[in-house]
Structure 1
Amino acid sequence: MKGLSLTTNKEKSELIASVDPLMFGPLLDKEKLVEFVNTSEFGHFHLSANSILELEESIAIASDENDMAIITQVIGELKEVAVSVSLSEDNMECTASIAANSGSMLPNINTVKEQLKTAGVKRGISEKRIRQLLQLALDNSSDKPVKIVVAKGLPPKKGKDSIVKPTVPNAIDRILAPQESDDSKVDMRNLGDILSVDARQVVAKRIAPTKGRSGFTVTNKKLAASPGEWKVIKLGKNTVISEQNENTVIATIAGQPKFKNDVMNVDDTFTSKGVNVGTGNIKYNGSVVVNGDITEQMQVVADGDVTVNGFVESALVRAGGDIIITQGATGKMNIEDCQLIAGGSIFIQHGQGLDIISGKDIHVAKQLAYSKVKCRGEIIVGSGEKPMGNLFASSIICHKTLRAGSVGAVSGSQLIIDFSEGYNVLAQRAEALTDLFNTLSNANADHEIKIAALNSRHIPAQLKKKLATLTNELDSERILLNWLRLAKEEMAQKKQDYEMHARIIANKELFPGVIVKLNKKMWKAEKEYQRCRVILENGAWLYDPLTQ
């Protein structure tokens, strides 16, 4: 339209018409103005009929008075887009949506919050999610609305069940926490007194269940929490529940405490000042504490733990539980005539010439060399979160992560670390489960067809009972098949977890001569590496430097 131009204000929320009376003429055609606006770049503005009427009057007055000044009038505005609010059936979530409409002005955060409150939403409102909603709407170029959860309730949290906690430490925990001297320095030689408890001494307590945490809906309805449950105390060897306090466990004999799998046991303990030709070998149905050395060719065999507050030289120590040697153990190099065999974990200060078999973890405080090791848990050489001990010139079978400071030696002496055994056990179990599952699955498919065929026929009354029995057997078969399917999946996950934990961590350096194996997958260090780890990734061993 000649003599009329359109602009917006700074916020681009209002449409302004500017009229030059000299060029425009005395009359405004309102229909042409509306058409002009709708076909222009400002067609998304909502026009105001009253404002257009005011503009028409201003133009007429200017013409009558021969006033040639530019006339400006706001004739339209952007309207805020509507925000739709919906609540989930349980009132735990509120979703806000904005329709696709490029011609509408987006509301601000406070406006959205007010709309939520109007819809009854009082708690759990997230300004971050509202901003995200507005940004998505701003970037939306499709014809579909955008929606997002902008408020969430808090589900109630069930209380924790009662638990049993030991009141005395395990020997293995004590050994890994050396005592402080008077000047607050840790003395690795001082591991405290040999741990034992007296008869009638409290060894564990049951901690009460917690009340849990209440929750709320987005409409601010309080959701009550369920308290935890009182769990029955499981009693171990030589323990009873106190008559005075049903939440207290006491020892019935003097012995060595051991807390495992939420059960406190007290082993009958045999104590010796040393084991040598003078004392003879020890074989004991309980735990053994040796306050001295175990000399060459001697044997200590115990069903429980064996604690040696001294040194072991070319001897046999076998324990159904843990083996703790507060000093060191040594055997002849290349013969490994010092045997340490434990159903649990093994702790030693240092060792060489050892033949070690451990059902759980192995902790070596300083150095392990010229030894043969079989460990079904982790191997840690050194102390603390970043062990810095030395490991070299040994043959090791390990089922989990091996951590040390220096792995291998400058001389390049061979150190073999083999993760095959544990993996192969899992692989054999997985294969057996798969074979059994496939066999049963085929049989079940055949049985399903036959039972379905029988059910489709007329069954005489005298045979219906037998058919019902067959149907029940088929149900049992289905349950077994489902259990096998889950067991097969669980075993596959265990194999993946095993590969993830099969790794070497060298916190200081790794030397040439180190060989890492898992069946045919092998990695050999050809040079010296600084702080690094060797991990199994995508079926292959990979060197990975430690940057932190």
Structure 2
Amino acid sequence: MRNGYFQIGCTGGGTVVRLVKPVDGGNEVTAREIAEYLSGHGIVYDAGLLTKGIQTAASVANNEFLFLVNKDIIPEIRESYVLTIRPDKMIASVRFYPPSMKGERMTAQEFLMDLKVKGIVFGIKEKEIEAFFAKPRYCTDFIAAMGVPARNGCDARIKYFFNTDLHSRPALSEDGSVDFFHLNTICHCKKGEVLARLYPEDPGENGTTIYGEIVKPREVKRKHLEFGRNITLSPDRLQITSDVNGHVALVQDKVFVSDVLEVENVDTSTGDIEYEGSVLVNGNVLTNFSIKAQGHVEIRGVVEGARIESGGDIIIARGMNGMGRGVLATKGNVVAKYLENATVSAKGYVSTESILHSRVMAGTEINVTGRKGFITGGRVSAANVIRVKTLGSPMGADTIVEVGADPSVKLRIQELQKLVVEHKKAIEISHPVLTANMQKLRQGVKLKPDQMKYFQEMLQEENRRNQEIEQYLQEMESLQAILDASSNAKVEVSGEVFAGTKICIGDVSMVVKNSMKFCKFVKQQGDVKMTAL
């Protein structure tokens, strides 16, 4: 296959065009291309003669056809070309046009020199160029230079070989009650078991444009394995294994392994408990005692007016009557038969059959399910959703439920953004001074003691600011995730909500005027709206 092409002839009678037809399905020459060529070389032509000549050439059987475009005598024309650069500067394609019938051809070296003058210095296809000059194919595009695109790498990732799902839910029995004895919320591990493996980041490779410019790949995120006690890091720092038989948990991207402290009751026989791992209480926790554990706390009996703090989950099989002073505080989830006269704070979810006159706060959601499934009295807050069967009381007990991110989250993000800007401005001011002093030191120039002291202080200050910027950005990312997750906050009532109940979503609220069944409360157009469930 070969494209058709044209050639200019300079005769005593004027300027002629020699039109050569394509072979084996090649592209034909267009009138527009010939016209652009003539105009580009300053040749005045008769458009009517050009159009008529092309039409006549198409109608004859000859492979070549000559026709006149003007009666002017013009000088001979050298072989020429049109160079097209792709916007990303990765490809330069060229289209050559033959010299006039008695004109001179260009040499390969001349064309290569032209490319150099134009700044094209990388990825030049010398073999293709030499092949063209040895056997020209006119009016046909070919690649004269090709850059190398950047190869994007990939972020580092960590694969965990245990269940990291913080949204495990207790199963419902056939009678509608919650089965608190088979929660499966603890991941057990054995000594020598692989817990996690780090797959390092691939930084990718730089690319180069045809102008020799370096094109960098996108930045990748680095990670490293974070872990606590009872865990061994492999020599290549890519794998962690358990040192003990116990349980494993992932808390805020850090792996914890611990064995379990088991007691019958928390009372005068044990005193207060403070433990690095998890705690299992087979009986009850009595009033005024406390448990503080880094891992999970599981209580198979009842909790009275006690204080329980946990770095993992808190599970109370028979519920809690806090007597107005009981406190549950956890970085994980809370699962309890019931919560009465207690203060509960969980960064994860709260799941229970009933909440009575309590202050309950959850970082994600609150599910009040089971046969009773009621919230009566007190204040109950969750970031994303509250699901309940019966909300409020026909007796008029003050009941407040809240969902959505705290307005202080937005204020904190704005404050962090301002701090980042201030730190970057300060670095921009000090960095030139540091760079100048570093250059002097490299050149062997000795600084005066006071100058060296000032230089070291500035360097420490810049490092401190860079570290703080990184911390601020990480905090902004986590706060933004909270804000994004709370955009669809809602309260779902699968049974009945009683009049007098106050519903708060973000910064707006409403008081239910009439009892309603099977409904949902969401924020729409700046107000709390009630819709069908």
CA distance in 2 between counterparts of 1:303 and 1:336 reads 22
1:303, 1:321 within 8 Å by CA — same for their partners in 2?
A: yes
- Paired letter, 1:414: D
1:394, 1:414 within 8 Å by CA — same for their partners in 2?
A: yes
- Correspondences of 1:344-355 after superposition (within 5 Å): 344-355=331-342
1:378 aligned onto 2:364: yes
2:266, 2:281 within 8 Å by CA — same for their partners in 1?
A: no
Structure 1: 5+ residue stretches without partners: 1-44, 54-83, 95-116, 122-152, 446-463
SS at match of 1:331: strand
State the superposition RMSD in angstroms: 6.1
1:92, 1:154 within 8 Å by CA — same for their partners in 2?
A: no
Structure 1 vs Structure 2: percent identity of aligned residues?
A: 11
Moved more, 409-418 or 473-482: 473-482
The alpha-carbon deviation at position 307 of structure 1 amounts to 2.7
1:290, 1:309 within 8 Å by CA — same for their partners in 2?
A: yes
- Correspondences of 1:135-174 after superposition (within 5 Å): 156-165=151-160, 167-169=161-163, 173=166
Partner of 2:400: 416
Partner of 1:395: 378
1:393, 1:415 within 8 Å by CA — same for their partners in 2?
A: yes
CA distance in 1 between counterparts of 2:490 and 2:286 reads 34
Deviations 1:220-248 (A, max 9, x none): xxx999999996544421211368x9754
- Correspondences of 1:447-458 after superposition (within 5 Å): none
Partner of 1:363: 350
CA distance in 1 between counterparts of 2:220 and 2:413 reads 37
- Paired letter, 1:367: S
The 3 A distance-change label for structure 1 pair 407 and 158 is: farther
- Paired letter, 2:399: L
- Paired letter, 1:269: V
CA distance in 1 between counterparts of 2:402 and 2:321 reads 22
Deviations 1:268-302 (A, max 9, x none): 42112x31547443413223432523144263412
The 3 A distance-change label for structure 1 pair 502 and 410 is: farther
- Correspondences of 1:27-426 after superposition (within 5 Å): 49=52, 87-91=86-90, 156-165=151-160, 167-169=161-163, 173=166, 176=169, 189-192=181-184, 196-198=188-190, 200-209=191-200, 233-241=225-233, 247-272=238-263, 274-275=264-265, 277=267, 279-297=269-287, 299-325=289-315, 327-331=317-321, 335-342=323-330, 344-375=331-362, 377-381=363-367, 390-396=373-379, 398=381, 400-406=383-389, 408-409=391-392, 411=394, 413-418=397-402, 422-424=406-408
The alpha-carbon deviation at position 544 of structure 1 amounts to 5.9
CA distance in 2 between counterparts of 1:90 and 1:474 reads 41
SS at match of 2:411: helix
The alpha-carbon deviation at position 46 of structure 1 amounts to 12
The alpha-carbon deviation at position 362 of structure 1 amounts to 2.6
CA distance in 2 between counterparts of 1:227 and 1:471 reads 31
CA distance in 2 between counterparts of 1:215 and 1:177 reads 51
- Paired letter, 2:169: L
* TM-score, structure 1 as length reference: 0.51
The 3 A distance-change label for structure 1 pair 498 and 522 is: farther
The alpha-carbon deviation at position 404 of structure 1 amounts to 0.9
1:408, 1:414 within 8 Å by CA — same for their partners in 2?
A: no
The 3 A distance-change label for structure 1 pair 425 and 161 is: closer
